[in-house]
Amino acid sequence: MSHPHPELGPPPALPEGGLRIVALGGLGEIGRNMAVFEYEGRLLIVDCGVLFPEPDQPGVDLILPDFEYIRDRLDDVEAVVLTHAHEDHIGAVPYLLRERRDIPLIGSKLTLALIEAKLTEHRIQPTKLQVVEGERHRFGPFECEFLAVNHSIPDALAVAIRTPAGIVLHTGDFRMDQLPSDGRLTDLGGFARLGAEGVDLLMSDSTNAEVPGFVTSEREIGPVIDEVIRTSEQRVIVASFASHVHRIQQVMDAAARHGRKVALVGRSMVRNMGVARDLGYLKVPPDLLVDSRAIESWPPEDVVLICTGSQGEPMAALSRMANRDHPIRIAEGDTVLLASSLVPGNETAVNKVINGLTRWGARVVHKGNAKVHVSGHAAAGELLYVLNLTRPSNFMPVHGEWRHLRAHARLAELTGVPEDHIVIAEDGVVVDLVDGRAKIVGAVHAGYVYVDGSSVGEITDTSLKDRRILGDEGFISVVIVVDSATGKLTAGPEIHARGSGIDPAQFEEFIPQIEKALEAKAADGVVDMQEIRRVVRRTVGRWVSDTYRRRPMIIPVVLEV
C-alpha cells in the first residue's frame, strides 16, 4: 500500500505517455474537493470546492484550495468538470475563474444552473457546457464519459477519464439508493461495462467507508418527516442544506398534506430552491409558499419554515434563531427538525445550536433521535459492490478524512486489489499512472487559502494563531517614549489591557520593573527600537506568566523623540 511520506520532494517530469493526478483538496478532510489531471502538458480539473472553517479558525468565512500549483499554467486548463453542485465541490469555482474567466465549466443542468447563480453574485459570466449521463466529450487529450450517480442532490455525475495512459473512473459523491425519490439510479451497468473494458485507476468516495452495510433509502425518510409535521402543535422549522432538493421536496409535500404554508429562510435557500423550481427539479404545490417576512402573521400551527444552518454555521439562520439574533423568534412548543447528518468536525457547533433552541422551549428532532436523514454517501457494502464491479488495476480512495481513506483502502484489499496498487495520498501528493501502475512520485504545496470578508489569501496561519491568542488570553499594550539618541525612557510606561483577566491596579506595581529593564539597556548603549520593543515584550511576558500563568498577546508601542 503506497502512502505519502513527510519528506516527499518535488515530483520529477511526467514520463511520456503518463497521467499525473494531484489532489489540491479533499484528501484527509471533508471538503475542498479538487483534483488536477495532467496529460501531455494539458490539465483537466475535477471539482473545485470549499472547506468550511472550524472553531480554531476564527473570523474565516471559507477555505479554498491553493491554486499556486496551477497558477502559472491556467492557460493549459482544458476544462473544470463539476460532478455535482454541493459547496464542497463547486464553492471555490468563482475564485478560480477570477484568475482565468474563460475556463469551461462542464456539468449537468442543475449543477451549472446553481453555479451560474453563484457566479452572478461575483459578476462572472461563465463559459459552460451542459452534459448528461451517457455522453462522451473530448477536452484536449481527455475524453470524458459521464455516468449517472445517485446522491443527496439531483443530477450528480461520475466521470470516466480516458487517455492513452488508461481509464480513470472518478465516482464523485454517490450512493446506491435502489428506490431514490427522483427515480435516478447509480449507473451500475455503466460501472460494470467500464470494469470489463479495464479500469486502470478507481478514485472513489470514502466518506462512509467505516459504515457497514447499505445506506437507507430516501423513501423511508418521507413518512418520518410527515409524522413530525402532523403531530407538531405549533411551528415546524426545518434546517437543511440549501442544495438538498429531495429533502425540501419531502418537507413541502408533507406541509401541503397537512394544510401548512411554507416559507424559505436564508439567501442561499431561496436562491437554490428558486433555481430548482424553475428547472423542474422541485415541484411546489400551488399557493404553498409565503414570504418569510410575513410569517409571523400566520397562526403557528399553519406554518413550516425551511432554513439553512443544519451544521451549526454561526451566521446561518438557525444559529441566529438559537442566539435570539434573528427576526424569527423561537417559542415554547415549536418543533425544529435537523434534516441532515453531521459533517465530521461540526458536532460541537450543532450541539450548541440544539441546546440554544431547547433553552427557548423548542423540541429538536435530529438524526440522533429520529430517522430524519440518510447519508448521500455509499456505505461499505456499496463501496465493495463498486470495487467488485469495476475490478480496478489501481485504487485511490478520495473524499474523506484519514480514517475513511484507510478504511476504504482496506475494502479494496479485501476485493483483491494488490496492496502495492493501492495509493493513499493526501492533499498535494503527486500520483503518476504510468504503464498501468499508479505510484506516488513527489509532492507540491497544497495549503489552505483563507477567505475573510473580501480578502482572499491575506490571512495566514500566523494571523489565526494571533486571533486565537487574543480570543483566549486577551492582550496587553505598553506605550513608552524614548530618546532616539540615548535610548533612555522619557515618558511612560502606560499600560492598557483587554481580556487578559489582570487587575489594572497590579500594573502600577509592575511598572518599575519595566523602567529598570529599559535603564539597563540604555546604560549598555542600546538605541535600536526593535531591541527596545523586545525588552518590553520579554519583561512583561515573563511577569504575566510568573504571576498569572497566562500568555496574552503583548504589544509594545515605542515612540521616539
Annotated binding site for substrate: 373-377
Cell numbers for 552: 496574552
Residue pair 88/400 in contact by the 8 Å Cβ criterion: no
Which neighbouring-strand residues pair with 519? none
DSSP-derived letter for residue 296 is G
Which neighbouring-strand residues pair with 32? none
Residues 6 or more apart in contact with residue 214 via CB below 8 angstroms: 176, 379, 381, 382
Q: Which of 46, 50, 47 has the alpha carbon at shortest distance from 31?
A: 50
Residue pair 167/147 in contact by the 8 Å Cβ criterion: no
Q: Between the CA atoms of 385, 391, 393 and 397, what dihedral angle is there, to the nearest 10 degrees?
A: -10
Q: Reduced to 3 DSSP states, what percent helix, strand and coil does the chain have, rounded to the nearest 5? A: 35, 25, 40
Q: Which of 501, 136, 162, 109 has the alpha carbon at shortest distance from 278?
A: 109
Q: Which of 263, 262, 270 has the alpha carbon at shortest distance from 243?
A: 270
For residue 299, give the amino acid letter.
Answer: P
Q: For the chain, how far is it from start to end, CA to CA, in angstroms?
A: 66
How far, in whole angstroms, is CA 97 from its chain's centroid? 19
Which neighbouring-strand residues pair with 23? 35
DSSP-derived letter for residue 51 is B
Q: Which is it for the CA torsion 85, 88, 91, 95, positive or negative?
A: negative
Q: Pinpoint the alpha helices (H) of 5-156.
A: 68-71, 87-90, 93-97, 109-121
- Going from the C-alpha of 226 to that of each of 157, 211, 375, 458, 495, the distances in angstroms are 30, 27, 19, 47, 62
DSSP SS3 for 169: strand
Residue pair 221/374 in contact by the 8 Å Cβ criterion: yes
In the 3-class helix/strand/coil scheme, how is 126-157 assigned residue by residue? CCEEECCCCCEEEECCEEEEEEECECCCCCCE
Residue pair 303/260 in contact by the 8 Å Cβ criterion: yes
Q: State which H helix or E strand residue 23 sits in.
A: strand 19-25
Q: How many residues does the chain have?
A: 561
- Going from the C-alpha of 438 to that of each of 1, 2, 3, 185, 209, the distances in angstroms are 11, 9, 11, 30, 22
Binding residue positions: 373-377
Q: State which H helix or E strand residue 402 sits in.
A: helix 402-414
